[in-house]
Chains A and B, each alone.
Chain A
Amino acid sequence: MKALTLAATTFIAASAAAADTPELTVYAGDYFTSEWGPGPVIEKGFEEFCNCDLVFSTGDLLPRLLLEGERTKADIVIGLTSDVTAKARATGLFTTHGQDNGVLTLPIEWTDDTFLPFNYGHTAFMYNTTTMATPPASFEALLAMPDDIKIVIQDPRTSISGLALVLWVQSVYGDKAEEVWGKLAPKILTVTKDWSSSYGMFTDGEADMVLSYTTSPAYHMFAEDDQTKKAAIFPEGHYFMVETVGKIAATDQPELADMFMEYVVSEGFQKVIPSANWSLPSALPRAEWPEGWDQLDLPEKVLFYNETEAAAVQDQAIEAWRSALTQ
């Protein structure tokens, strides 16, 4: 037990090291602060002018907030996706974001004044041009593809992208969703717990297609100079995915928090988000996107359920998926 106590004391001592400059605590998703995540760039950009210390604290965002409740140390929470905003809102921990939604350049209208989008993308099936010369040109074409084309997807019960997929199918096909899943079932190689495992199976060549994002090809194009990984674009539309920032009402750094919110929609932040997060900026006209990003294949039609609509159809959409795939 001594070892435990000793270790605990060390950590407490380390964290108690007093800071002279004000500290802004930002809760972020797990991937956020890795060397290739957006965290380091955001921290550097903000600290250049805030005269403060931005401290990221990573972990499972929503479970952590719900567990901590009023005792949360967070001033800002970054990375809440639209499927959890309803639960996050219900905690009553958040206050208004204070920015003008009019500056947003999203493909959908955003009216929420609590959660401020900072990047977006869409669900998409990716393929490799070296192994698939003609990708499906529509969702219908995907359904009609031969069964030896193998797709790997994520579980809607354990992953956000998996959930977006079933909502995508639901929004395109409505009551026929289960039938559509029945047609997809023989092509689905397997279902993984999270996006990473699926994506690894795709890059390893285990699967022909993977459920990912319209922005995933950007990573390969710009970071690896690889033009062979592309997203198939369907005229039926693609499901919109957004990540948001929220301000904690009880923050002890309200000015800094406001300053951060302002920073999120500023050009400095928006211009780095594409290559830092491999996603599209939420408040930057397409003409000002970093070089090359306008070449990315993006859908004309965008589908989206807001949190209330999503809550209403979510169970039905997951059940359609589950029952068709367990036949």
Chain B
Amino acid sequence: MAQRADPVKRHLGLTAAVFTVAVVVLAAVGIATRIEPASGLGPGDWAAVRFTVHQALWSAGISVLLAIPVARALARRQFFGRGALVTVLGAPFILPVVVAVMGLLAVFGRNGWANVALDFFGLPPVSIYGFHGVVLAHVFFNLPLATRLLLQGWQSVPAERFRLAAQVRLTPWAMFRAVEWPLIRQIVPGVAALIFVICLTSFAVALTLGGGPRATTIELAIYQAFRFDFDLGRAALLSLTQLVLAGGAALLALWIIPMISVGGGQDRPLARWDGRTVSQRGLDVLFVGLAACFLLLPLFAVVLRGLIGMPLVPQVVWQATGASFIVAVISVLVLCLLALPMAGWIASKRSGGVEAVGLLGLSASPLMIGTGWFILINPVMNPADLALPVTALINALMALPFCLRILVPHLRDTMQDFGRLSAALGLRGWPLWRWVVLPRLAPQIGFAAGLTGALSMGDLGVIALFADADRATLPLQMYRLMGAYQMEAAAGAALILLVSALGIFWTCDAMGRRYASN
């Protein structure tokens, strides 16, 4: 076999992977030191496992199915405000759960806009509560992520492909089979697995929109065991169950991803000649329009409520915003240190199995990692002193799988297209990154960093366990306001959260794209 170029020095990638595993495993060890004999899973737990898997499969399936036509439409259309729409469509994914639920209820609730409209046309009301409500909420959260990841795949198709397809006058069906289907086959399994794992760890949304204890997920039982019953043995057992499910899904998905490259091009600007018939245009408008309504109306409700509450927002919320910014920035830094070497390492391997390591952080309950590290830190120093760094680290681990999914496919293509040439030129290490990888990967890095920062900003994470009065993050402060009857001020805080998270996301995303276009 010909000598291959190492996109990065492998030991860096390996170190990052080992570090990731160590954070999770050490947390487990910390908990293990405090475990009392645990009883096995009861019938209620098995019901929770079944429900969890069932809803996660449906949520992931529907999110991905809907994302395909939306991403396809966004990929081949140019219209005014498209960039802004793509950014704002990402917002549901980074909203704190309680805010998103309030937004969804404003639209789909008993007195929500949807029911007001139905009533106006003399139609019976619909109820959001039930299994379909759980799926609807999860699609609301994850459709944007799926769309963005697919869209990115579409945009990685070299311009020459589309030009050739137009020259040989491929029919829409042939176009789909020759260009789009291979792309979908390569991206969808990974995206579906990612969303499956996210939905696996959902709990407050599932409970509220599922209408009660029928919608009990494993994560709820973990929360109950950690925070309420303080039964560490049970909590560890449940966390392990969740890890196995998530890990299984990840391995399965990464195993069925075909190892094909969409092929190299000459990095020409993308132009599309396909999809110009009236019916294709109509369908694209319909899909983008429906997705925009579905995602933007609840956000609009959040913004409206927030504006009303803005004047009531107390000073402490702004302090908390500052703390959250610090957490977000540290998370992004940690993320880059972990994700780039790992992505390079994974992209240089033929099989994608090692990417499962990245999913470890997401599938392990943050409560488990947080509690484990609390036990480990406590004998050495006051855990509250490390509240923000630990939160940032855990947030970075949560975001790692998304970022790997964003970075790896494109990096792999880049290395397949330019790896041999670079090797022949003796380009290795930093110069390789500087001249070959970064210019091509910058949009992806920007997107990944933006996503991490935004997620970190909106995540309540483990801060509640560690936090001190003056180190509260914005989401925590928002929950405190709600706990003190300040529902309106909390809505204002939610708006600040939404705007800051989107701001971070937009800044990183735009920086990445600008670097790439220069």
Contacts and interface: CB of A to CB of B under 8 A. Distances in A.
Contacts, number: 179
A17 interface: no
Contacts of B326: 7
A23 B481 CA distance: 27
Contacts of A196: 98, 479, 482-483, 490
B39 to A, nearest CB: 13
A36 B481 contact: yes
A57 B485 contact: no
A151 B374 CA distance: 38
Most A C-beta atoms less than 10 A away, residue of B207, B334, B466: B207
Interface string A134-176: 0000000000000000100001011000000000000000000
B389 A191 contact: no
Contacts of B378: 67-68, 71
A35 B486 CA distance: 10
A193 B316 contact: no
Contacts of B171: none
A187 B11 CA distance: 60
Contacts of B388: 7, 11
Interface string B466-490: 1111001000110111111111001
Contacts of B226: 63
B382 A15 contact: yes
Interface residues of B, number: 73
A203 B129 CA distance: 18
A195 interface: yes
A37 B469 CA distance: 12
Interface stretch (B1-9, B82-90, B104-112): B104-112
Interface residues of A, number: 59
Contacts of B480: 30-31, 33-34, 37
B484 A192 contact: no
Contacts of A322: 44, 213
A34 B213 contact: no
B150 interface: no
Nearest to A57: B468
A58 B479 CA distance: 13
A325 B211 CA distance: 9
Given A59-B464, A188-B212, A189-B211, A37 B484 contact: yes
B398 to A, nearest CB: 16
A51 interface: no
B40 interface: no
B485 A219 contact: yes
A7 B330 contact: yes
B122 interface: no
B385 A204 contact: no
Interface in A57-76: 57-60, 62-64, 66-68, 71, 73
B64 interface: no
Given A33-B469, A56-B469, A322-B44, A206 B105 contact: yes
Nearest to B480: A34
B75 interface: no
Contact of A325 (B47, B212, B393): B212
Most A C-beta atoms less than 10 A away, residue of B203, B212, B371: B212
B384 A57 contact: yes
A3 B479 CA distance: 28
A12 interface: yes
A197 B212 contact: no
A43 to B, nearest CB: 10
Contacts of B207: 155, 190-193
B177 interface: no
22 contacts: A3-B333, A7-B388, A12-B385, A31-B480, A34-B486, A35-B314, A67-B374, A157-B224, A190-B210, A190-B212, A192-B207, A193-B220, A196-B482, A197-B101, A197-B208, A197-B482, A199-B487, A207-B110, A322-B44, A325-B212, A326-B47, A326-B214
Q: What 4 pairs across the A-B complex have the smallest Cβ distances?
A: A196-B482, A31-B483, A36-B484, A34-B480
Interface of B: 34, 44, 47, 98, 101-102, 105-106, 109-111, 129, 203-204, 207-214, 220-221, 223-224, 226-228, 230, 314-316, 326, 329-330, 333-334, 337, 371, 374-375, 378-379, 381-382, 384-389, 392-393, 464-469, 472, 476-477, 479-487, 490
